[in-house]
Amino acid sequence: MPDSQPGIVSYGTYLPKYRLARADIGEALNALGGRGERVVASFDEDSTTLGVAAAQAALESSGSEATGLATLLFATTTPAYVDKTNATAIHAALGLPGTTFAADMGGAARSGVAALRAGAATGGMAVLADVIVGRPGSTDESGGGDGAAAFVFGPEIDAVAKVVEFASVTDEILDRWRTPGSNSGAQWEERFGLDRYTPLVERVIEDVLEAAQTSRVDHAVLVSSNSAVTKKASALVRCADTVSISPLGYAGAASVGVALADALDRAEPGESILVLSVADGADAILLQATDRIAVGRQRVPVTEQLEAGRPVSYPTYLTWRGLLDREPPRRPEPDRVSGPAAARSGRWKFALSGSRCEKCGFVHLPPVRVCKDCGVVDRMAVESLAGHSGSVATYTVDRLAYSPAPPVVDAVVDFDDGGRFTFEVADADPSALSVGARVETVFRRLNTADGVHNYFWKVRVQ
């Protein structure tokens, strides 16, 4: 591996707020549901919105400027669109310049490794996100999890972890598949996959350690689309002092990202991390934490995000994922978003960019040409409030308006740096909201009509 190989400059993860108890699944289906909880994305979240949240966390952890990114690579097995690039919505939400190349690397769990390798090669950002859907009673339903991770690559001198070596072995194995248009996938008998993958894992470990001229590592993480492989993680990886699997469960392309972020949360300066992804072959990434890891970790580690959840019922979860067809509201359906209108207000809609008066400093949301405070015309600077915090000036709880997660809560927010606007409150818990409550903006999906997703910003209690 050349000395100029970029390292991970910053990273961030995002785990949705809701948790589904596996015992509830078992009780509803009269089966063994298992212990613990799985992470569940809200009704207004998809792989794109999860990716935005993780990317914001990655930039926040180091104070990096998104405008300096050359590439943005988005990996997911559950894209919000096909025949349309999903990475462009993340690009727009982050306020990246048009010169930043944004592209999807989707379709399979191995796409997550592809995005990491490409991000390291280009010095850009790799965003990995997925919302895992499984048939009721399936392994994906109980053993899956929704989440995202993002990594910014740059010069090793700025890195929290330098990339030491890559190794890969590819094989055609009919272990897991999903046809286009299907909500959930299928798997072959797990022992078949374990038998095929075991020699590949052994080979890729040997290759990466030989290339790095070492025989032992401090931390190893193993993720796989085959649960039998993860159950044998300790037996398969004997070269590490500690061996772990993804704390999220199977998360598609995001599995390797969340597991790597969790390892970076725990690694000390100088310690090595071996990341193993087993899907359609075996991939290994060997990294070494630098002295910057102690100050460059993400603000909220994976373990804390896992603990900060709130329960969701099984019928509600099934409704959110489209697996339970419940009676819709007797109200007009939302209109499809207009392409020209969205283009005209692109900065406001995706990047939450208002305008700040250059004469008096008044912030306008949405942007305007004439200052409402001093009346000056066309002397406005772009002011993005994406990811910013503010306080609730007043709010209302609407128990009559339709929502997949009632009630609907709207809040008037005063931002710390100026600006006021009315937002819907995401993951709303009216009992946790009050005048003066601190909130932050989050990128969500307002609705979907005629196959078009209407993305905008909401606020969430901090």
Q: What is the pLDDT of residue 66?
A: 60
pLDDT score at 118? 95
Tell me the C-alpha distance between 32 and 179, whole Å. 28
Contact 150, 257 (CB under 8 A): yes
Give the whole-angstrom CA distance, residue 432 versus residue 411.
13
Distances (CA, A) of 11 to 41, 71, 249, 329, 376: 21, 15, 20, 41, 42
Q: Is there a contact between 24 and 179 (Cβ–Cβ < 8 Å)?
A: no
Neighbours of 416 (CB within 10 A): 11
Residue 447 CB coordination number (10 Å): 15
pLDDT of residue 255: 96
Residue of 214, 268, 279, 272 lying closest to 246 (CA atoms): 279
What's the pTM value of the predicted model, to 2 decimals? 0.94
pLDDT at 5: 67
Say if strands 272-278 and 217-224 run parallel, antiparallel, or are unpaired.
parallel
Q: How is residue 130 written in tokens?
A: 């997925």
Q: If you compute the radius of gyration of the chain from its CA atoms, what whole number of angstroms results?
A: 22
Residues 129, 253 contacting (CB under 8 angstroms):
yes
- pLDDT score at 64: 56
The token pair at 134 is 């499984």
Q: Kindly report the three-state secondary structure assignment for every residue of the chain.
A: CCCCCCEEEEEEEECCCEEEEHHHHHHHHCCCCCCCEEEECCCCCCHHHHHHHHHHHHHHHHCCCHHHCCEEEEECCCCCCCCCCCHHHHHHHCCCCCCCEEEECCCCCCHHHHHHHHHHHHCCEEEEEECCCCCCCCHHHHHECCEEEEEEEECHHHCCEEEEEEEEEECCCCCEECCCCCCCCEECCHHHHHHHHHHHHHHHHHHHHHHHCCCCEEEEEEEECCHHHHHCHHHHCCCEEEEEECCCCECCCHHHHHHHHHHHHHCCCCCEEEEEEECCEEEEEEEEECCCHHHHCCCCCHHHHHHCCEECCHHHHHHHCCCCCCCCCCCCCCCCCCHHHHHHCHHHHHHCEEEEECCCCCEECCCCCECCCCCCECCEEEEECCCCEEEEEEEEEECCCCCCCCCEEEEEEEECCCCEEEEEECCCCHHHCCCCCEEEEEEEEEEEECCEEEEEEEEEEC
The span from the CA of 302 to the CA of 269, in Å, is 19
Rounded Cα gap, residues 162 and 14, in angstroms: 23
Q: Report yes or no: 214 and 249 within 8 Å, Cβ to Cβ.
A: no
Rounded mean pLDDT for each run of 10 residues along the chain, 462 residues in total: 72 97 93 90 98 96 69 96 96 94 92 96 95 92 95 92 96 90 84 94 97 96 94 94 94 96 96 97 97 93 94 96 85 84 90 96 95 95 94 95 91 96 95 94 94 95 91
d(CA 162, CA 166): 12
Q: What is the pLDDT of residues 208-257, one digit of tens each?
A: 999 999 999 999 999 998 999 999 999 999 999 999 999 999 999 999 99
Top-tier CATH class for 7-320: alpha beta
The topology (CATH level 3) of 349-461 is OB fold (Dihydrolipoamide Acetyltransferase, E2P) (2.40.50)
List where CATH 3.40.47.10 sits in the chain: 7-320
Q: Where in the chain is the domain with CATH 2.40.50.840?
A: 349-461
Give the list of residues 6+ apart from residue 208 with CB closer than 8 angstroms, or none.
Answer: 165, 166, 167, 274, 284, 285, 286
Closest CA to 402 of 335, 452, 460, 328: 328
